[in-house]
Chains A and B, each alone.
Chain A
Amino acid sequence: MAYSEKVLDHYENPRNVGKMDAKNLDVGTGMVGAPACGDVMRLQIKVNGEGVIEDAKFKTYGCGSAIASSSLLTEWVKGKTLEEAQQIKNSQIAEELALPPVKVHCSVLAEDAIKAAVTDYHEKRNQGES
């Protein structure tokens, strides 16, 4: 399968690989996918007092397109508000990385990951306050 240059770039030089403390109240964690399906993505965001994503980290088990989708996503969400980050659509990721149809599910997973991370952040906040 031929990969686009952007996929190869992110795959070979992934941005923001890493792990944050999931227990931290200003960290939101989204883990999506399943090992049996061949991809698992963990996206973590660090949110400041203004509701802006200050930092993002990922780790991904999956094909090159899955790794590239999550790497690109961490770049995109940094500096965005939570609302803005949730607006990111898988089609934008697929377009940017020129993913072939058979790999579009990788971008869907990335969209799910940011949504899950934001949800996790809100849930922890709500629990922390109550």
Chain B
Amino acid sequence: MKLPIYMDYSATTPVDPRVAEMMCSFLTPDGTFGNPASRSHQFGWDADDAVEEARRQVASLINANPKEIVWTSGATESDNLAIKGVAHFYSKRGKHLITCKTEHKAVLDTCRQLEREGFEITYLDPEPNGLVDLQKLEAALREDTILVSIMHVNNEIGVIQDVAAIGELTRSRKILFHVDAAQSAGKVPIDMDTMKIDLLSVCAHKIYGPKGIGALYVRRKPRVRLEAQIHGGGHERGMRSGTLASHQIVGMGEAFRIAEEEMAQENARLMTLRSRLWDGLKDMEEVYLNGDLEHRVAGNLNVSFAFVEGESLIMALKDIAVSSGSACTSSSLEPSYVLRALGREDELAHSSIRFTIGRFSTAEEVDYVVDLVRDQVTRLREMSPLWDMFKDGVDLKTVQWAAH
């Protein structure tokens, strides 16, 4: 077993060797290096064929038409294009959008920008288990609502939202529905033929493809219109200009092909490992699971260890790569906004660790992590005045703290 152990698959995944090999053949002089937009020679035609094959592979995983796939630089750009693109195109119809407080920053920050432009955003509170209550969502819909944006799988707590049900609701009201599926594509079944989702953001690097490439699904029937955010040569039917990154695109295609083929068995294996990890930790005192266990992606376990501070725990777990909060915010001292939105007290939000396992995780690694976490949590608790007080029966909520 090699140290450190990687358990941060929700931050990014290594590229599957099969994908890397494929990508290499699209770079060098003896490979298919042409510009897919070059219509006048073989180099361009070959690259275009490869890009279109990858488009079919990406579409196939989500049971969509390849013509509905627009290449982007990743899920962040897809979210920007979907939300700003719809808002700008349909602003005459209405200026109200709905999202949830536990969305990724790529969605929340985009919404903030739209607020500055005069749009109005409703940020829904999730239930304590992390799921959006459909009735509350329905109650928030208005005459001037043009878009609802709800993520499929949450990046921090791994809970799976019922996007099929949300889609029924939005379609019946003729409101567009965008789903950030960065954490779910290849891990949870997605069927665009039956799900009434209008726009869906996906990326490659969460599912063993390369970083820097993603796609936005844009529905054709009923047709969804977008205002482009990047202008230029009119690539991707005008929705996203810029020379296509063919080596990354074929990598994403191959990664999605493998995911489609192996998803069922991989999920079964990850579920076994995840249970092994949770079984190894859950009998400890004052340990709390964050997010619903049942409606949850197989590779995610997010746990709060009360009376232990998250950053010091991560330091103690230096032989394992995990994250406290999301990778985008772990350099700040703020506790996770996702856990706060669930109503977790700050103390528990500060003490959370996200373990995410994936294709190359092993049972041996899980066992090592269980032992290490148990030892280090015990060590840090022995050093914690809060643990002392808890053991002495002091209710920490009754203590007057000097906030600083």
Residues of chain A having any CB pair with chain B under 8 Å: 1, 3, 11, 14, 17, 19, 31-42, 59-64, 66-67, 102, 105, 108-109, 112
Contacts and interface: CB of A to CB of B under 8 A. Distances in A.
A35 B308 CA distance: 10
Contacts of B315: 3, 11, 63-64
Nearest to A39: B309
19 contacts: A19-B388, A32-B402, A35-B401, A36-B345, A36-B401, A36-B403, A40-B386, A40-B401, A42-B385, A59-B385, A60-B384, A60-B385, A61-B308, A62-B309, A63-B311, A66-B309, A66-B312, A102-B333, A112-B404
A35 B383 contact: no
B287 to A, nearest CB: 16
A34 B384 contact: no
B333 A17 contact: no
Interface residues of B, number: 26
Contacts of A14: 383
A34 B312 CA distance: 16
A112 B404 CA distance: 11
Given A17-B383, A35-B347, 7 more contacts: A1-B331, A14-B383, A38-B309, A39-B309, A42-B385, A42-B388, A61-B307
**Dominant SS at the A interface?**
mixed
B104 interface: no
Nearest to A70: B383
A1 B330 CA distance: 9
B115 interface: no
A1 to B, nearest CB: 7
B335 interface: yes
Contacts of A42: 385, 388
B382 A38 contact: no
Contact of B383 (A3, A34, A38, A59): A59
A105 B346 contact: no
A67 B387 CA distance: 15
A38 B384 contact: no
B350 interface: yes
**8 tightest CB-CB pairs across the interface, nearest first?**
A34-B401, A36-B346, A42-B385, A63-B311, A59-B385, A35-B347, A61-B384, A64-B315
A35 B386 contact: yes
A37 B315 CA distance: 18
B396 interface: yes
B404 A109 contact: yes
A19 B308 CA distance: 17
A68 to B, nearest CB: 10
Which of A1, A19, A38, A62 gathers most chain B CB within 10 Å? A38
Which of A1, A37, A102 gathers most chain B CB within 10 Å? A37
A1 B335 CA distance: 16
Which of A17, A39, A62 gathers most chain B CB within 10 Å? A62
Interface in B289-325: 307-312, 315
A11 B345 CA distance: 26
Contacts of B396: 35
A13 to B, nearest CB: 11
A61 B386 contact: yes
